[in-house]
Copies of this chain bind each other. A is one copy, B any other.
Amino acid sequence: MSKEIALIEALRALALHPAARGLADDCAVLPFGGETLVLTHDMMVEGVHWLPGQDMADVAWKLVATNLSDLAAKGAEPVGVLVGYTLGDEDARFVDGLGDALQAFAVPLLGGDTVSANGPRSLGLTALGRATCAPVPGRNGAKPGDTLWLTGPVGAAMMGFEALRDGTGADSAAFRRPTPRLAEGRALAPVTTAMMDVSDGLLIDAARMAQASGVCLAITSEAVPFPPAMPSSRQDEAMRWGDDYELLFTLSPGITPPVAAHCIGRAQAPTSSSVVVDGAVPHGKLGYMHD
C-alpha cells in the first residue's frame, strides 16, 4: 500500500459523511437546498504536475480544466471555483490563463487565497457544480454485459507533452489546454451505468471503474481511438499515459450514447484481473499511480 493510499484510507476513516465516498479520486456529492452539490478539489505541484519553465497561463488553464473534468464525469454543471495560489514570477500569466479558462467554460471565480512560499509552488482548486440528473453517475454501476465507451482519443496529451518537452514545434495543446467534456457529461449522465474521466490513463482508470463496479472490463485495442499523428507502435503506451480527460462510461446493452463516442469494449463477470486487453491481462504499470 503506497504512502498516499495509506493516508487516503486514514482520511476516509475520519469521514463522517457518505459524500466522502470520493475522497482523493472522485467528487463529493451531497444534497443542499433541494438540489445536489458536486464538489472536487485537486492540487498541482511545480515539477510534478507541470514542467519547470512551463507557461503559467497553461498551468492555470489545466488546473481549471482538470477539476471541471471531474464535474463533467458527474454530469454536473459548474457553478464556480475557488483557487489557492502560491505567488511566483509569472503571476500575470497565471491570471491570464485562469481568465481564459473561466471564460471558455463560462465558470465564475468565487474566491480563494494567495500565499508566499519558497520552493516548488503548489496550486489548489475547488470546483463546485450542480447535479443535472439523479442519481449522479458513479464509477460503481457497470454490470456484466454493459458496453464500454470513450468520448475521444487517448495519447494526444502524451504527444503534446513530448512536443512541449522536446521543443519540436508540434501541437502541444492537448497537453497544455485540455477540454473538460462538460456538455458530453451532462448528456451522458442520465443514461450511463458508470462514468469517470480518464485522467491517469485508460487502463488504470478502467481498472478502477471495474473494481468499484465488481466487473472485469474487456477492452478491444483496435476499437480504442488514438490521435492521427501518433505512431501505431505507441498505442499500448497511450492507453497508460493519462491526462487526456475524455469520459469513460458504460451503457446497458442496446443503448446508444447521445453524443459521439467510441465503443471500446464490454463489461464481463469479474475475473482475477480488473481489465483485459484483447483477451489478455495487461502487464506492467497501468497508468499514473499516485505516490
Chain A 15-62 interface residues, beta-carbon cutoff 8 Å to B: 15-17, 19-20, 22-24, 26-28, 30-37, 39-49
| A223–B110 alpha-carbon span in the complex (Å) | 37
Asked if A291 is at the interface of the complex by the 8 Å CB criterion, the answer is yes
Q: List chain B residues, Cβ under 8 A from A118.
A: 47, 119-120
- Nearest chain B CB to A134's CB is how many angstroms away? 13
- Nearest chain B CB to A181's CB is how many angstroms away? 20
| A46–B118 alpha-carbon span in the complex (Å) | 9
Asked if A255 is at the interface of the complex by the 8 Å CB criterion, the answer is no
Chain B residue at minimum C-beta to C-beta distance from A10: B95
Q: List chain B residues, Cβ under 8 A from A7.
A: 85, 87, 91, 95, 114
Complex contact A109–B15 (CB within 8 A): yes
Taken together, the copies of this chain in the complex come to: 2
Which of B11, B49, B109, B110 contacts A112 (CB under 8 A)? B11
Complex contact B82–A126 (CB within 8 A): yes
Give the interface size class of chain A: 35 or more
Which of B10, B41, B48 contacts A82 (CB under 8 A)? B41
Asked if A130 is at the interface of the complex by the 8 Å CB criterion, the answer is yes
Complex contact B80–A110 (CB within 8 A): no
- Nearest chain B CB to A89's CB is how many angstroms away? 10
Given contacts A33-B37, A43-B113, A43-B114, 19 further A-B contacts (CB under 8 A): A3-B87, A4-B116, A7-B95, A8-B114, A14-B95, A16-B108, A19-B80, A20-B110, A23-B112, A28-B110, A30-B80, A32-B32, A33-B34, A41-B84, A41-B126, A45-B115, A48-B115, A118-B119, A122-B122
Complex contact A111–B43 (CB within 8 A): no
